[in-house]
A and B are shown apart, each in its own frame.
Chain A
């Protein structure tokens, strides 16, 4: 009986991930067909197990296994082992269905090695300065935000090479942070100034821009972690402007304790500082 519940749980979980589109927060969408087919495979196993159970011939099946000398039934001999097996199997179903996927939270990032005078010295406690990941959701109601998020994903997710120029900077970047799985392996072109925190590797940099979502009180710094094929610490200095092109990947970034999207750089060049270093969100 428990087995039916667990199998059904997995079926439902995979179905939910695909129906709500949350799957892109967890995995590379290139192989989403694998987890999509899981809905049917698991569904089939659930049905099969249900029929077996309804017929009540569980005993016979177990003898079956012994016939093949395959000792897996060994594993579930004692009550303790049974409890262990079923608890383990239930954990991901329960936490997966009921807990939301965590995403980069700008309040965490703030404390982790990013220092900008206009943010650090701002005494206005109501100001909302974001770092790295643009999050426009506080400025919209929930339904409108979700609708916009969906449209942006449709628009940028269908491009194979996404150019983060002034016009698209905010919305494309936000879309990438919201659904990194949809953008993996795509080309992204990004420009901004180089920024270094203490805890990144010598071949890594942050490429950032100052940006304004709504008004100057909530100006923030937005951009991405980029990784060069070689050590660039001595070549590219802090605050130098550059344009990078690379393929998008995600990585677990220890200082933030989060999975973040980053660019594996294939091409880069130094560029002059633009006239207006700020970018503005397009509405």
Chain B
């Protein structure tokens, strides 16, 4: 076994060991909330005013420490329950970032520094409010795909009718399912990241790093492709911090938590195509501009 491969494995394993605890805590908490908090509770809290609901939607996301794939189905059900579309979108965009687990994992990943966590949160809130307000002018609330009926039927025997015991069992089952579906993306991302660091020449990567514009674009594309859960992506991002500056890394952390391959499919499943593509472009532009300013 060559030394280089051993090296790559060492980086790979250390990313996994650091990130995995956050994933496990994350899947447990999100499973708990899935079981015990209903969409009706949120629907009641959203005010009618367009700007207030965009802001509040962004904040309520913090009650759902989930990652970007777990939050799409919740968002869909919120819209079904007549929460205004733009408020639900604000919730969907900020939820995966503005929550205690993600903030703590970002803090730990960047060597006990609040700087990156702070930048990440500020940009996320900014993007989510701007995109949400834009959506409220561009679209009416009827953007769900109609074929979702069978799912809402299934959901009709909902969580509140279950006994506590079966709720707890449901929570654990749910956590294990999510551990596997989230874990594979983390591992895949860690593999790519460790391979890039081991096999790419620094000079080749620095070419990108030279211009901030290309660096931000590269990191956004990477975030989209890698599809790492927002609880764990800070550890991947920090492993790139020798190669890229703050702006590109924040772009990775914010864009990846809002849009990536796996949640794009879930959004396309829930919403109409035209809506999803407008949404993704809006997010991309906002993150890009924000990252350049940082």
Contact = CB atoms under 8 A, between A and B. Distances in A.
B139 interface: no
Interface residues of B, number: 59
B176 A45 contact: yes
A17 B1 CA distance: 21
Contact of B10 (A35, A67, A102, A251): A102
A68 B175 CA distance: 13
A229 interface: no
B266 interface: yes
Interface string B164-186: 00000010111111111101100
Contacts, number: 144
A254 B202 contact: yes
A89 B242 contact: no
Given A25-B10, A102-B6, A65 B187 contact: no
A45 B154 CA distance: 27
A72 B34 CA distance: 13
B73 A69 contact: yes
Interface string A239-261: 00000000001011011011100
Interface of A: 3, 6-7, 10, 14, 17, 23, 25-28, 30-31, 34-35, 37-38, 41-42, 45, 48-49, 52, 61, 64-73, 75-76, 84-85, 88-89, 91-92, 95-96, 99-102, 105, 108, 185, 199, 249, 251-252, 254-255, 257-259
Interface in B3-18: 3-4, 6-7, 9-14, 16-18
B257 to A, nearest CB: 18
Contact of B73 (A52, A71, A255): A71
A186 B202 CA distance: 29
Contact of B24 (A17, A42, A85, A258): A42
Contacts of A199: 202
Nearest to A108: B3
A15 to B, nearest CB: 13
B77 interface: yes
A85 B108 CA distance: 27
A61 B242 contact: no
A43 to B, nearest CB: 12
Nearest to A88: B184
A23 B17 contact: yes
Contact of B14 (A27, A95, A100): A27
Contact of B17 (A3, A27, A89): A27
From A41, A68, A199, name the one whose CB has the most chain B CB atoms within 10 angstroms.
Answer: A68
11 contacts: A26-B17, A35-B18, A61-B173, A67-B155, A68-B174, A69-B77, A70-B174, A76-B181, A92-B12, A100-B6, A249-B111
A100 B184 CA distance: 23
Nearest to A37: B21
The 3 closest A-B pairs by CB, nearest first: A102-B6, A26-B14, A88-B184
B3 A105 contact: yes
Interface of B: 1, 3-4, 6-7, 9-14, 16-18, 20-22, 24, 34-35, 69-70, 73, 77, 108, 111-112, 151-152, 154-155, 157-159, 170, 172-181, 183-184, 187-188, 190-191, 197-198, 202, 239, 242, 262, 266, 269
A255 B206 CA distance: 13
B12 A95 contact: yes
A65 B12 contact: no
B187 A252 contact: no
Given A85-B181, A85-B184, A41 B16 contact: no
Contacts of B266: 71
A25 B18 CA distance: 12
A102 B181 contact: no
B178 A96 contact: no
B277 to A, nearest CB: 21
B14 A88 contact: no
A28 B108 CA distance: 9
Given A17-B17, A23-B17, A38-B21, A95 B155 contact: no
Given A38-B21, A102-B6, A255-B202, 20 more contacts: A26-B13, A27-B17, A37-B21, A38-B20, A45-B172, A49-B176, A67-B170, A69-B151, A70-B174, A71-B73, A73-B177, A89-B180, A96-B16, A99-B6, A101-B6, A102-B10, A105-B3, A108-B3, A199-B202, A257-B198
Given A38-B20, A66-B154, A85-B184, A102 B3 contact: yes
Nearest to B185: A88
Contacts of B21: 34-35, 37-38
Contacts of B16: 92, 96
B225 to A, nearest CB: 15
Contact of A38 (B24, B69, B170, B239): B24
A96 B187 CA distance: 12
A280 to B, nearest CB: 30
A96 B69 CA distance: 28
B11 to A, nearest CB: 7
Contacts of A100: 6
Given A88-B188, A91-B191, A99-B6, A69 B14 contact: no
